[in-house]
């Protein structure tokens, strides 16, 4: 098999189709919801893919299950390790529970309490670290070497990318065509997988990644064609506080994504409020970036718009503050 980055478009799309088969009966096929009020506000037909209803409350279950389930028996016996601010941590922990695999999760000390508690509740051992002193990657690599376990990173892994792409694949299977697909971007796993699925299912669809203004490294990387970084951005969208795109996701974003956009913190909170009050949906700040882009005018909507609402794991104090 070719190294992941050297695979052709057809080969990458095939990996998403394989992930779809592997996830059948394990991941939820999440609903696609619409709002007449939203359509009237933005002047377009908007379809929201509700990954807040996915297992563990976020799309991350897709990539975690696909990657971990494909490990060898020897690797499964040794256990897996990951690093995450929350959703990928919960996903790896739940998959470990389902497949009876030991899981170790490196999580920042300031991670949302609900995500930490849920990760531990699924049976994972959580190792905290201070992001001002060290990086989660360094901590995880050292622990992986000590324990002999396999590292399953949150986005920069071919099976994780393919698994995440199944959310967009489901949208196209249901809706057939879209003119635009808006996808939140942190490390680029969901965005890369979604863009691969879009090109394979409906090549005319424009795929746009969306980041917070305060964590715009992928947007800068996209426009300069040079990998840019950001350090501990203080955005309310905690799932996007990644250092940079990855070795796999950066070239995939350049190849498959049509554009990038950013949104303000106030636009993010406005989108959370809209979904809560008007559509009765609980979606975390990281999950509303696509909606924030069209509500704020950062992206001009046109035609049939798909939006991936990537997760719903928001703690009570944060939601109270936003509302």
Q: Which residues are catalytic?
A: 60, 310
d(CA 68, CA 151): 10
Beta bridge partners of 58: 311
| Cβ(257)–Cβ(277) below 8 Å | no
- The percent of the chain in helix, strand and coil, each rounded to the nearest 5, is 50, 15, 35
At which residue do the structure tokens 């424009």 appear? 206
Find the angle CA(271)-CA(274)-CA(276) to the nearest 5 degrees. Answer: 110
Cα–Cα distance for residue pair 276/101, rounded to 1 Å: 36
Task: Cite the beta strand spans of the chain per DSSP E.
Answer: 32-33, 45-50, 80-83, 103-108, 125-129, 150-151, 180-184, 206-212, 259-263, 304-309
Give the phi and the psi of residue 125 in degrees, each rounded to 5.
-90, 120
> Which residue is associated with the tokens 């030991």?
102
Give the integer Cα–Cα distance in Å for 295 and 292.
5
- The closest of 104, 93, 101 to 75, measured between CA atoms, is 101
State how far the Cα of 90 lies from the Cα of 84, in Å rounded to an integer: 9
Sign of CA dihedral 5, 23, 86, 71: negative
């Amino acid at each position: 098999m070719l190294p992941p980055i050297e695979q052709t478009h057809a080969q990458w799309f095939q990996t998403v189709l394989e992930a779809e088969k592997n996830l059948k009966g394990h991941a939820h096929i999440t609903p696609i919801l619409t709002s007449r009020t939203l359509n009237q506000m933005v002047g377009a037909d908007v379809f929201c893919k509700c990954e807040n209803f996915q297992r563990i409350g976020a799309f991350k279950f897709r990539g975690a299950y696909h990657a971990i389930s494909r490990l060898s028996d020897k690797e499964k016996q040794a256990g897996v390790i990951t690093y995450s601010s929350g959703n990928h941590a919960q996903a790896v922990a739940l998959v470990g529970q389902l497949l009876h695999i030991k899981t170790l999760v490196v999580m920042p000390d300031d991670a949302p309490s609900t995500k930490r508690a849920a990760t531990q509740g699924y049976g994972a051992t959580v190792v905290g670290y201070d992001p001002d002193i060290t990086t989660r990657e360094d901590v995880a690599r050292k622990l992986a070497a000590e324990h002999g376990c396999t590292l399953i990173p949150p986005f920069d892994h071919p099976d994780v990318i393919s698994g995440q792409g199944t959310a967009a694949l489901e949208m196209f299977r249901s809706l057939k065509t879209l003119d635009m697909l808006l996808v939140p971007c942190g490390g680029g796993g969901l965005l890369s997988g979604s863009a691969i699925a879009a090109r394979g299912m409906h090549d005319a669809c424009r795929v746009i990644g969306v980041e917070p203004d305060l964590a715009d490294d992928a947007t800068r990387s996209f426009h300069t064609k040079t990998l840019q970084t950001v350090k501990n951005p203080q955005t309310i969208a905690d799932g996007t506080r990644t250092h940079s795109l990855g070795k796999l996701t950066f070239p995939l974003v350049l190849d498959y994504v049509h554009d990038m956009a950013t949104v303000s913190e106030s636009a993010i909170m406005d989108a959370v409020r809209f979904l809560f009050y008007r559509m009765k949906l609980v979606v975390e700040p990281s999950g509303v970036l696509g909606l924030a882009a069209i509500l704020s005018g950062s992206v001009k909507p046109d035609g049939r718009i798909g939006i991936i609402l990537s997760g719903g794991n928001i703690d009570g104090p944060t939601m109270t503050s936003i509302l």
